[in-house]
Structure formats: structure tokens, C-alpha cells
Structure 1
Amino acid sequence: MVLALVLSVTDCKSSSKRDYFDTSFQCFAEPGWRDDSNFKKYIEKAWLPTRLLYAQDNLKIKRSNVVFAGDSLVHLFLPDLMAKEFPGQSVTNRGIGGDMTETLLTRMEEDILVLHPEKIVIEIGGNDFIQGKCLSLVQNNLLAIIQKIQSKNRNTKIFLIAVPPTRVKELNQIVPVFNLFLNQVARTTTNVEYIEVWDSMRKIDSPTLREELIRPNGDSLHFNEKGYEVWGKKLRPYLQK
């Protein structure tokens, strides 16, 4: 499974490489992951095979009114959950576990835009920060994604979901800074909306994931079905317009 491979090759234990508040921290501005061999393994064994499945499916469905794009948090928004949260809507999932802003950018045309969606929902950025990517690089990639969508069709509605809290301290420190950027982009860009989920998914008095949203088996990065209910509640008013 894609998620299992991603978790097996992603180093989430080396906190100094992703702790943006560490005095010795140096952000990573190169393509891929800090561990290039594992990144190549991920691309070969997970990313490309998933894209092949999406290409085959795209040939069948041809169009979709709404397309979700992003990383494992999107990938795990399984079809039955999507059908439950968005009944009667043409919604297609094009998330890939492990995706970063740079890899999503490279596949936007073939995986997402080819379906001529009226609305695109994007959640991306967490894996960039796991790798300690430079914040400016992640921001510029996000802007490039929006530009690519709007160059195809300026009327496409884009919904940027806030990167949600996790149980990883270093991510919970930097992600709110990125979410502020997403919010500002939405406020200043036509046909872009920001969907705030951070506040709804965090503990009341702590910048970490609420207990009732935690997945079992020690998963510190993802949330359970109740978390997708939060997403559904937030998104339905926008997708039903």
C-alpha cells in the first residue's frame, strides 16, 4: 500500500532536520527528499504506480466536477467517506501519499486538470515540512500550482484546505505559519478560498490533534474518520454552490 511505503521510508524521527525553531536548522531547498535514495524508491514504488492507476481511471471517467488533490490526508479520504460527506456529487480523489508541493505541481495537468473540474480542493505542504523544505520554496510551489490551474481555466474554483494539526511537535510549530500564507493567498486571489480546519481539529488549549481524531496504531501524522467529517462539514457549503 502506498501509505505503508511512505511511512516506511519517511524519516519522522530526525527532529533537527525539520525543527524550524532549532538554532542549527538549515532548510532544504533541493528537489526530492533529504534522503535521495529513499525518494527514488518512493517515486518508483508508490508515486508512479498510483499515477498510472489515475491515468487509467481518467480515461474512463473523462470529467469530474470536483477533484481533490494533495498528499496522504487526501489519499485517505476514501470513496465511501467521500460519498458520505458529498452525496450525489461528482467527486474524484487524486491524492497521493507522500506528495509534496513540488511533486503535485508536476502532475497537476495529467492527473487533475485533464478532468476539467469546476472545483479543485487542495491539501498539501505537510510532507514538505517533514523534509524541512525552505518555507519560501513551499510557498512559491503553491503559487505555481494555482497559476497552473488558472492558466488552464481562470474560472476554476480553488479551495485550499489548511494543513491540519498532527501529533508531531515540529510540524505543529511551522504549519500555522504556512496556513497564514494560504489564507492570505485566498484573500488576494480571484476564485481561491481558504478552508480553515486547523482550529476545528486541534485541542482547545494545545496546538496538537484532538484526542478523538487520532488514528490507532501509533499513527502521529494522520487522523481518523471523524476528522474527515470535519472536512466534509467545512467543505459542503462551498462544493454545493
Structure 2
Amino acid sequence: MIFALVSSVTDCKSYSKRDYFDTSFQCFAEPGWRDDSNFKKYIEKAWLPMRLLFAEDNSKIKRSDIVFVGDSLVHLFVPELIAKEFPGQSVTNRGIGGDITETLLSRIEDDVLILHPGTIVIEIGGNDFREGKCLSLVQNNLQSIIQKIHNKNRNIKIILLAVPPTRVKELNQIVPVYNLFLNQLARTTKNVEYVEVWDTMRNPDLPTLSEEYFRPNGDVLHFNEKGYELWGKKLRPYLQK
């Protein structure tokens, strides 16, 4: 129900206004989404209810060795798939559909760090670019998230998962630029690693999601179970260290 609401208020219309390569494009540096009324609806009806569920669950489980956090791509990495990809490991999912870097920054302490994880896997940024957020703003938010984590515990290992390709041209134009930033950030920051998935998940001849990862319902933003199998394959070596 919550994910259906998120999908309804984060649809793909007006992507032409989010084209970073359009000569008339102006990046968005304000809080939230370009549509403020939809953003407020999202926070009230989806984001806050999910956080209440997380708080209740966190009070029960107390600790988790590994926490996944991010947007709808993490949200859809459901417990059954996580258990299949990381058997016998203590893994908790704290993804929220529709999340952006600034809202993740605001919740990282209460939703994730409270579980005292040794490793945090982060996939975030796609929704920022869906809104045409200024690239420097997204990068600064991500750096602030890392700083907040390491201010809590400098020994926490952070894995930055590349934002994967979609079936949306405007996103596929800017996301590789952001992934280059993630890669470089990992190279220059202690206890931060970068895991590439863009190259494997894209069409070998086109800068778009490979057809083998298409969801059957016409969803142009997310990928199918085979994509999560790839995530598992790519991440297992890092999570078993």
C-alpha cells in the first residue's frame, strides 16, 4: 500500500523538465521535490509511516550486522530476496521508496545507526535526479551522510552501490556522472567502497537498462528479481569480508 502511494506521486511525467543536457535546464536546489504538495503528501502518507515501522522493528531487533538503506530500489529488495542472496547473515533493510539524499541524511541516525551495524550499504540519488536536483547538492548530501556515519563510528564500512540504469533517458544521461563521483569518493575515503552495477545492468549497445532486467508491469524505473540476484553476486564478496 505504501509503495503504491509512493509510485503514484513519483511518476515519470515531465522528464523533459529534468533534462540536465537541455540548454534551458535549471537545476533544482530547494528542499523536497519540485511539486511541493506531492512531497508533503509523500512525507505524511509514506515516508513517516515507514519510519514508524522502522522504529518499532528497531526496538525489537536492537542490532544488525549489515543494513541496506536508500530509495525504492532498496525498498523492493524484500526480505525473501535478501535472505536468498545473503543466507545466514544479519541483514536489515531500511529503504524507503521515494527517498532522496536530504531525507536519508535526516533519518540515518534513527533508522540505521541505532542498530550499530558494522556495514551499511547505500543506494541513493536516482530520485534527486528525477527532480533535477543540482549535482553539487546531491554530492554534498552524500558526503554529509558518510560524515554522519563515521562521526558515529569511524570503523563502520560503507558500501556505495552504483545507481543502476533505468528506462528513462534523462536519468541515464546524468546518473553515470554521479556514479563516477561515488567511485572517486570511495577511492579517497577510508572505510568506503564502491560497487559498480551500471555497466553490468545496461544494454551492451545502449545506455539504458538491459531488457533481461525489465519488470513485467511496464515499470521504467525499477528492475526485476534478476537484478537483485546481480546485486547479491556483486555485494557478497564485500559483505563476507
State whether TM-score is above 0.5: yes
2: distance between equivalents of 1:81 and 1:53? 20
- Report the alpha carbon displacement of residue 80 of structure 1 after superposing the two structures with TM: 0.5
Q: Tell me how large the CA RMSD over aligned residues is.
A: 0.6
2: distance between equivalents of 1:68 and 1:109? 14
Within a 5 Å distance, the mapping from 1:1-241 to structure 2 comes to 1-241=1-241
1: distance between equivalents of 2:22 and 2:234? 34
- Report the alpha carbon displacement of residue 16 of structure 1 after superposing the two structures with TM: 2.4
1: distance between equivalents of 2:223 and 2:181? 23
Q: Which amino acid aligns with 2:34?
A: R
Q: Which amino acid aligns with 2:147?
A: Q
CA displacement 1:152-200 (0-9 Å, x = unmatched): 0000000000000000000000000000000000000000000000001
CA displacement 1:116-174 (0-9 Å, x = unmatched): 00000000000000000000000000000000000000000000000000000000000
2: distance between equivalents of 1:177 and 1:17? 19
2: distance between equivalents of 1:154 and 1:90? 21
Q: Secondary structure at the match of 1:88?
A: coil
- Report the alpha carbon displacement of residue 204 of structure 1 after superposing the two structures with TM: 0.5
- Report the alpha carbon displacement of residue 2 of structure 1 after superposing the two structures with TM: 2.3
1:11–1:23 distance in 2 versus 1, CA, 3 Å: farther
2: distance between equivalents of 1:88 and 1:138? 35
2: distance between equivalents of 1:149 and 1:226? 31
Q: Which amino acid aligns with 1:114?
A: I
Q: Which amino acid aligns with 1:54?
A: F
2: distance between equivalents of 1:108 and 1:132? 23
CA displacement 1:93-119 (0-9 Å, x = unmatched): 000000000000000000000000000
Q: Which amino acid aligns with 1:174?
A: I
- Report the alpha carbon displacement of residue 11 of structure 1 after superposing the two structures with TM: 4.3
Q: Which amino acid aligns with 2:41?
A: K
1: distance between equivalents of 2:99 and 2:112? 14
Q: Secondary structure at the match of 2:32?
A: coil
Give the TM-score, by structure 2 length. 0.99
Give the TM-score, by structure 1 length. 0.99
Q: Which consecutive segments of 4 or more residues in structure 1 shift more than 2 A?
A: none
Q: Which amino acid aligns with 1:26?
A: Q
Number of residue pairs matched by the alignment: 241
Q: Secondary structure at the match of 1:16?
A: helix
Q: Secondary structure at the match of 2:120?
A: strand
Q: Which amino acid aligns with 1:199?
A: D
Q: Which amino acid aligns with 1:89?
A: Q
- Report the alpha carbon displacement of residue 17 of structure 1 after superposing the two structures with TM: 1.9
